[in-house]
Amino acid sequence: ATSRPGAQGTLITVAPTGAEHRKEDVPNLPVTLGELVKTAQDCERVGASMIHIHIRDDDARPTLDLARLRETVAAVREHTRLVVQLSTGGAVTDSEEDRLAVLDALPDSASCTMGTVNFGTDVFLNRWEFIVELHTRMQDRGIVPEYEIFDLGQLTSLHRLLDRHGPPAGGRVHVDLVMGVPGGMAGDLETFAAALRLIPEGATFSATGVGRASIPVLLASLSAGGHVRVGMEDTTTYAKGERVKDNAQLVARASGLARIAQRPPIGPEESRVLLGVAS
Ligand code: KMH
Ligand code: ZN
């Protein structure tokens, strides 16, 4: 797996907010545009090169408001060089129509989840026709997808998608394994190894472990030549009994581990080349 393209350095993605945590429960979660931009700058400084964005409304609730998304893309571009990735996953309650409209904000990259999965007590619905629509709209608009994989069968679906509907915009295939979601694949080494075997030939991949799977998955991905995603979307606990201070703390730790693994963080320009995002 270390011979995969881009395996020399590590692309660190930060997912700072997500749609699940409530501001009341996690007061240091970045939810305003100002907080998000500051987070993006802090995380870029310590080694992140891509940001996976979910936004919130004035009451800190998840929203897919298009004007706000456009404003967010512009602000993060103005203040950082990070690759800007918008979530089309949104919250489990978002409509397909609103999730597709996210692409109208024209980010560099957008997530594309490869199947339906139980999500705690909710269902994260991703019908086949919806996935195809996301993929083809991204092809048309030159937006580079990151294929989000919550369970092993979703990798089989990715092969099917690429066979039937052709390569993504940019010509590179980049996958993110999201491991340890209650209802999805486990965040352990056996499952990680099984996922590795199913990733399309020549694709790059990152991985993120949710909650307590965070560190094992991070180390596994660094060892396997993969990239990593960290952030408060996926974990709000830094260590047993210790809350995350801020997203930069998680990125800094990932950078340190990447250096120890002799795979230091790569910058945004190198990440653009790796992902096939236009400069
Ligand atoms: N919030 C989850 C339901 C994505 O960003 O594309 C879905 C999610 C995946 O976070
Ligand atoms: Zn997300």
Residue 213 lies inside a defined structural domain of this protein: yes
The ipTM (two decimal places) reads: 0.99
Residue 6 lies inside a defined structural domain of this protein: no
Residue 89 lies inside a defined structural domain of this protein: yes
> In this structure, which ligand is nearest to the CA of 92?
1
Q: What DSSP element (H or E) covers 63?
A: strand 62-63
Handedness of CA 218, 225, 14, 134 (dihedral sign): negative
Inform me whether the pLDDT recorded for 3 exceeds 50: no
Tens of pLDDT along 157-212?
999 999 999 999 999 999 999 999 999 999 999 999 999 999 999 999 999 999 99
Whose Cα sits closest to atom 7 in ligand 1?
Answer: 89
Residue 1 lies inside a defined structural domain of this protein: no
Residue 268 lies inside a defined structural domain of this protein: yes
Tens of pLDDT along 17-46?
999 999 999 999 999 999 999 999 999 999
Domain of 100, in residue numbers: 12-274
Whose Cα sits closest to atom 9 in ligand 1?
Answer: 89
Residue 5 lies inside a defined structural domain of this protein: no
Kindly report the CATH number assigned to the domain that includes residue 205.
3.20.20.70
Residue 155 lies inside a defined structural domain of this protein: yes
State if residue 46 touches ligand 1 by the CB under 6 angstroms criterion: no
Answer for the pair 175, 199: CB distance below 8 angstroms, yes or no.
yes
Residue 279 lies inside a defined structural domain of this protein: no
Answer for the pair 12, 227: CB distance below 8 angstroms, yes or no.
yes
- Work out how many domains the chain is built from and give that number: 1
Residue 19 CA, closest ligand 1 atom number: 1
Query: Whole-number mean pLDDT of the chain?
Result: 97
Distance 89 CA to ligand 1 centre (A): 4
Whose Cα sits closest to atom 8 in ligand 1?
Answer: 89
